[in-house]
Amino acid sequence: MRYVGNQPFKCLRRWLGLRFTLLFANGGAHTPEHYSRADAIQLLTRQQHDEALTAGIESTRLFHLPHGVDCTHFARPAAHGRDAARVARGIPTNAWVVLGVSALAMSEKRADWLVREVERLGMEDAFLLLAGQEGPETGALRRLAADLLPGRHAFTTVAPDQVRDLYWLADVAALPSLREGFGLAAIEAAAAGLPVLVHDSAHF
C-alpha cells in the first residue's frame, strides 16, 4: 500500500483507535515539503510561515512560535576581563576579533567564506575565532584557515553555557549562512552587545 502525505498516521489512528496530534517542531532550515505528514507545524520565523502558506498548506495547521532566548544571560558584565579571556584562548589582546558561532562546516554554514572575507580585509590585527561542533568538513576548513590566516585564527568547541564568554571577547559576530532554521547565534550575539553581520534576506 502506498501512503501519501500524513495518511499513514491517519490510518494508524483509525486502526488503533488512538487520539493524538502529530506536531512538527524542528529547528532546522526546513521547507514546506517536510510538513505534509504533520497535523500541526511550529514555524520559527515569519518567512517560513509565509513559505508554507504559498505552498498551499492550510493556515490552521501553522503556528509561528520562535525560540525563546534569555537575553540577560548574554549581557556583558561591566567588570568582564576581556583581555584575560583572550589570553586564555591564545588571542592577542589588541586584535580585532571576528567571531563565527555555528557548526564548523562549509556547505551550509559557509565558514570557509568567513575565512576568505577576513583574509580579504587586509588587516594584520584581524583575528578569526570559529566556534562550534566539528564535522566531516572541519579538516578542510582548518587547512584553509591555516593557509589564508596563519597565526590569526583559532577553532574551539565549548559547552553551551560557555558560549557567552566567546561573545564577550569578540568585537563583531558574523553568521555567513544564506539560510537558517532560526539563527540563534545572531540573537545571542546581539544580546551580548556585538554588531552582527548576516545575509541580506527576509529571514534575517
Each residue of 63-109: pLDDT tens digit? Answer: 998 989 999 999 988 778 899 999 999 999 999 999 999 999 999 99
Residue 61, all three cell numbers? 495547521
CA triple 83-165-129, angle to 5 deg? 75
pLDDT band at residue 144 under the 50/70/90 scheme: very high
Q: Mean pLDDT for the chain?
A: 89
- Cell numbers 558574523: residue: 174
CA triple 161-167-172, angle to 5 deg? 160
Record the pTM. 0.84
